[in-house]
Amino acid sequence: MPQLDTGDTAWVLTASALVLFMTPGLAFFYGGMVRSKNVLAMLMQNFFAMGIVTVLWVLVGYSLAFGAGSSSGLIGNFDYVGLKDLTNAMSGTIPTLAFVGFQLTFAVITPALITGAIADRMRWSAWVGFITLWSLVVYLPVAHWVFSPAGWLFKRGALDFAGGTVVHVNAGAAALALVLILGRRKNWPGEPMPPHSLPLTLLGTGILWFGWFGFNAGSALAANAVAAQAFLNTFVAAAAAMLGWLIVERLKSGHATTLGAASGAVAGLVAITPCAGFVGGLAPIAIGFAAGAVCFLAVSLKFRFKYDDSLDVVAVHLVGGILGSILLGLFADKSVNPAGHDGVFFGGEWNALGEQVLAVAVVLVFSFVVAAAIGYALKAILPGGIRVSEDDEDTGLDLTQHSETGYALERV
């Protein structure tokens, strides 16, 4: 039995708390961008992820994602249902329960990312159904494929340090499917629906950036040099992406905006996620800068193809996740992390890049198709469908779905 390392254990426990904090951070990032009549509904969809996914994770989630499973590597097993037999187990140099907690925080934030796309119009009960089913049927298998050493994409050699495919491509593809089924918000894009509080959005961005150190550097699962490299890469990519977004935004639309600074930083954090512990040197500047510029340009896709991805989950998470996962095939450097391999720029094989493309494509298609199936099924089964009535959409989700008001400043 491997020896427990107190430093590693302390870092992974700390990192887990950091990653959990990202979900409320995401809630505020999104919450500031919706209109004030929908702010609580947005916060609630995110906060609820911390409730439902946590319970599912303990009951079956961890076991299905990280149980050894069959040789096919498609799904785990039921060995650890209810976290059975894990009390004194070890995973490398840390207690398995620390790993369970760390991975739980990833399972929580991934479906929460989807909420930005479906803002202002999904029924609360439909969201409860969707997040439950999607977590079980999509997140768990994909986490097994990519993160578990028994998973088939892991075994093929696809690299994903902290979740470029499992978290961002996965959530982004599901978001796109759900947007297409839900339809556009009433009067979009004709009617202006500007953010009600960009200060909240910037506060949320700060929390996300802070928590992302746990997300990426924690994924080293040890307090070591790879963690330090991942920490710095995370920092630098977010900064470079902010610059990339702002430069393109200034050139294309005349102003450098606070929402642009926030969105750019998040795009950089997304793109560096798969790369964080596998690249070094100036790579995070290149990856971040590219993410900022490309994700800004990707926002215009929704206007061209008329899908109402309300808060740009596709442009930031799907596009950013794809970009980071593929750039990893170019920038990976084995001298940074012997567990990885060299990318094309470091003398690596082109087929390593091919494995990155394959992993992205498989996760994208699987998540899109199954999310669409869940969406259509809920639409057919739920008595009220998955979308609120036009009246409720006009009134706002806070009052109609939760019987609350976000800002009661006018009341004595």
Partner 1 sequence: MKLITAIIKPHKLEEVKDAVQNLGVKGLTVTDARGFGRQGGHTEVYRGAEYEIAFVPKVRLEIVADDPDVDRIVESLLATARTGKIGDGKVWVVPVETAYRIRTGEVGPDAI
Chain residues that interact with partner 1, rule: CB under 8 A: 189, 192-195, 249, 252-255, 257, 259-260, 263, 296, 299-300, 303, 312
Query: Are 370 and 135 in contact, with CB atoms under 8 Å apart?
Result: no
Q: Smallest distance from the beta carbon of 264 to partner 1, in angstroms?
A: 10
Q: Which is nearer to partner 1, 308 or 333 (CB)?
A: 308
Neighbours of 52 (CB within 10 A): 16
Q: Which is nearer to partner 1, 191 or 391 (CB)?
A: 191
Q: Which is nearer to partner 1, 86 or 270 (CB)?
A: 270
Q: How far is CA 90 from the centre of its chain?
A: 27
Q: Which is nearer to partner 1, 39 or 378 (CB)?
A: 39
Spatial neighbors of 306 by CB under 8 A, at least 6 apart, are 184, 189
Q: Is 410 helix (H, G, I), strand (E, B) or coil?
A: coil
Q: Smallest distance from the beta carbon of 31 to partner 1, in angstroms?
A: 15
Q: Which is nearer to partner 1, 300 or 351 (CB)?
A: 300
Spatial neighbors of 278 by CB under 8 A, at least 6 apart, are 159, 161, 328, 331, 332, 333, 336, 337, 340
Query: What Å distances lie between residue 120 and 31, 74, 162, 308, 368, CA to CA?
Result: 11, 35, 30, 11, 21
Q: Smallest distance from the beta carbon of 239 to partner 1, in angstroms?
A: 19
**Rounded distance between C-alpha atoms, residue 128 and residue 48, angstroms:** 8
Q: Which is nearer to partner 1, 307 or 345 (CB)?
A: 307
- DSSP code per residue over 331-395: H--TTT-TTS---GGGT--HHHHHHHHHHHHHHHHHHHHHHHHHHHHHHHHSTT-SB--HHHHHH
Q: Which is nearer to partner 1, 195 or 218 (CB)?
A: 195
Query: What Å distances lie between residue 105 and 149, 151, 168, 365, 384, CA to CA?
Result: 19, 20, 14, 24, 32
Residue the block writes with tokens 């009535």: 389
Q: Smallest distance from the beta carbon of 255 to partner 1, in angstroms?
A: 6
Q: Smallest distance from the beta carbon of 194 to partner 1, in angstroms?
A: 6
Q: Is 94 helix (H, G, I), strand (E, B) or coil?
A: strand
Q: Smallest distance from the beta carbon of 341 to partner 1, in angstroms?
A: 36
> What is the token pair recorded at 28?
């505020």
Q: Smallest distance from the beta carbon of 284 to partner 1, in angstroms?
A: 24
Beta-strand ranges (E) seen in 139-240 are none
Q: Which is nearer to partner 1, 247 or 372 (CB)?
A: 247
Q: Smallest distance from the beta carbon of 257 to partner 1, in angstroms?
A: 6
The CA-based diameter of the chain, rounded to the nearest angstrom, is 69
Q: Which is nearer to partner 1, 2 or 194 (CB)?
A: 194
Q: Smallest distance from the beta carbon of 49 to partner 1, in angstroms?
A: 24
